[in-house]
Amino acid sequence: MKESTLAKITASVAVAKGMAQKALAASPNPQWTEYEMQCIDEWIASQGGKLDRSEAIRRLVELGLKAKSK
């Protein structure tokens, strides 16, 4: 009886690990290169420098989506 319980636990752990790996693979947080970060920082400076990076990225995405729809 203990063996079947252990097998169930092992199987459920394997499933959970697989689900976690899939969730991490689809992460919306990309790894930015130095060049990309520099470009973002330069864009922030051209906007007056009052934005943080996350807000700047949101605005850049919004601008890109608007430009794409035209």
3-state SS string over 13-52? HHHHHHHHHHHHHCCCCCCCCHHHHHHHHHHHHHCCCCCC
- Residue 53 CB: number of other CB atoms within 10 A? 13
Q: How many structural domains compose the chain?
A: 1
Query: In the predicted model, is pLDDT for residue 7 greater than 80?
Result: no
What predicted TM-score, i.e. pTM, was given to this entire model? 0.54
Which two tokens mark 6? Answer: 């252990």
What percent of the chain clears pLDDT 70, i.e. is strictly above it?
A: 70
Average pLDDT, the chain: 80
Question: Which residues span the domain enclosing 24?
Answer: 2-69
Provide the CATH number for the domain around residue 27.
1.10.1220
Q: In whole angstroms, how large is the CA radius of gyration of the chain?
A: 22
Which two tokens mark 41? Answer: 């920082």
Which two tokens mark 52? Answer: 């943080």
